[in-house]
């Protein structure tokens, strides 16, 4: 397991490393990002209250940033899913053996954006679903990609969409994103919330996460919104 966590939190120490990585292949990566087809199976927009989607795909900073810029999203919280409450801390999860994945809880208005649309964005710009137990420079089971479903409808939409993308050969390798029941979501520490907006010049953010938001704006202009006026997460 490769651990880049120190580099993520201390940008000056990471500047030389990430500058070298950026010189290697950012253009090739950008060219591979395309808008995937919308799910053929989706939820009806009949709810009168906010719904919740919990997704994991690498460092939660970037996933949070993407969904904070989606119209209809009301709040995004960085956190942990897949493990026990007493191991839901950044240091514990960083060991890669707690069962947790860095995740985000997306609270959204289903009359403005559907669950299927969120999955379309997720698979199109937020991650590479063919990478097993890693995303970009981050490696370990805590960086695996997971759709944590909250009910049978979400499970069906996620399963059917992955099958749809597989049949369409949308990627050059098999999709390894898991579809698992959501047992619990534990918010991450306060300093991880809204990290993209608070630390835009962090080299990790500049190289790994800013392109995701740019891809969202380019590929999904009809749902891109900046700045978002979200309910802020208050943690201590």
The answer to whether residue 236 sits within a structural domain is no
What is the chain's percent helix, strand, coil content, to nearest 5? 40, 20, 40
| pLDDT for residue 226 | 82
Minimal CA–CA distance to 18: which of 191, 233, 207? 207
**Residue 101 is part of which domain span?**
5-219
Tokens coding 20: 């070298």
The answer to whether residue 228 sits within a structural domain is no
Helix (H) or strand (E) holding 156: helix 152-167
pLDDT over 50 (residue 188): yes
- Contact 211/32 with Cβ under 8 angstroms? no
The answer to whether residue 91 sits within a structural domain is yes
Minimal CA–CA distance to 104: which of 57, 36, 164? 57
Burial 177-205 (b: 16+ CB within 10 A, else e): bbbbebeebbbbeeebbbbbeebeebbbb
- CB count, 10 Å around CB of 22? 13
> For residue 44, what pLDDT band results from cuts at 50, 70 and 90?
confident
Phi, psi of 11 (to 5 degrees): -60, -30
pTM of the model: 0.86
Q: Kindly tell me the burial class for residue 9, based on how many C-beta atoms sit within 10 Å of its own C-beta (0-12, 13-18, 19 or more).
A: middle
Query: What is the number of structural domains in the chain?
Result: 1
| pLDDT for residue 230 | 53
Strand positions, DSSP E, 90-213:
101-108, 134-135, 138-139, 145-149, 178-181, 185-187
Average pLDDT, the chain: 87
The answer to whether residue 54 sits within a structural domain is yes
Write the CA distances from 216 to 34, 122, 126, 208, 235, integer angstroms: 10, 10, 8, 14, 28
The answer to whether residue 166 sits within a structural domain is yes
Tokens 């994991």 belong to residue: 56
> For residue 45, what pLDDT band results from cuts at 50, 70 and 90?
confident
Give just the sign of the alpha carbon dihedral 184, 185, 187, 192.
positive
* pLDDT tens by residue, 67-81: 999 999 999 999 999
> For residue 27, what pLDDT band results from cuts at 50, 70 and 90?
very low
* pLDDT tens by residue, 203-229: 999 999 999 999 999 999 999 998 655
Residues designated catalytic:
59
* pLDDT tens by residue, 108-161: 999 999 999 999 999 999 999 999 999 999 999 999 999 999 999 999 999 999
Helix (H, G, I), strand (E, B) or coil at 7: helix
The answer to whether residue 140 sits within a structural domain is yes
Minimal CA–CA distance to 158: which of 136, 180, 187? 180
Query: What percent of the chain stands above pLDDT 70?
Result: 82
The answer to whether residue 107 sits within a structural domain is yes
The answer to whether residue 61 sits within a structural domain is yes
CATH of the domain at 137: 3.30.1060.10
Report d(CA 67, CA 125) in Å as an integer. Answer: 10
pLDDT over 60 (residue 4): no
């Amino acid at each position: 397991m490769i651990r880049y966590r120190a580099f993520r939190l201390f940008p000056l120490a990471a500047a030389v490393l990430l500058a070298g990585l950026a010189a290697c292949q950012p253009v090739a990566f950008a060219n591979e990002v395309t808008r995937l087809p919308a799910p053929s199976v989706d939820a009806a927009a009949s709810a009168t209250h906010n719904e919740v989607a919990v997704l994991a795909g690498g460092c939660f900073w970037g996933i949070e940033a993407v969904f904070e810029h989606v119209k209809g999203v009301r709040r995004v919280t960085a956190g942990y899913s897949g493990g026990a409450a007493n191991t839901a801390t950044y240091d514990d999860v960083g060991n890669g053996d707690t069962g947790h994945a860095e995740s985000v809880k997306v609270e959204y208005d289903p009359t403005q954006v559907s669950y299927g649309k969120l999955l379309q964005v997720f698979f199109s710009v937020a991650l590479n679903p063919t990478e097993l137990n890693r995303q970009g420079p981050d490696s370990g089971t805590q960086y695996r990609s997971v759709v944590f479903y909250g009910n049978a409808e979400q499970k069906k939409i996620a399963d059917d969409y992955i099958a749809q993308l597989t049949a369409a050969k949308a990627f050059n390798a098999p999709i390894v994103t898991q579809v698992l029941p959501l047992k619990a979501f534990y918010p991450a520490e306060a300093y991880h919330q809204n990290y993209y907006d608070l630390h835009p010049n962090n080299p990790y953010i500049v190289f790994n996460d800013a392109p995701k938001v740019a891809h969202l704006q380019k590929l999904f202009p009809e749902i891109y919104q900046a700045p978002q006026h979200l309910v802020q997460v208050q943690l201590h």
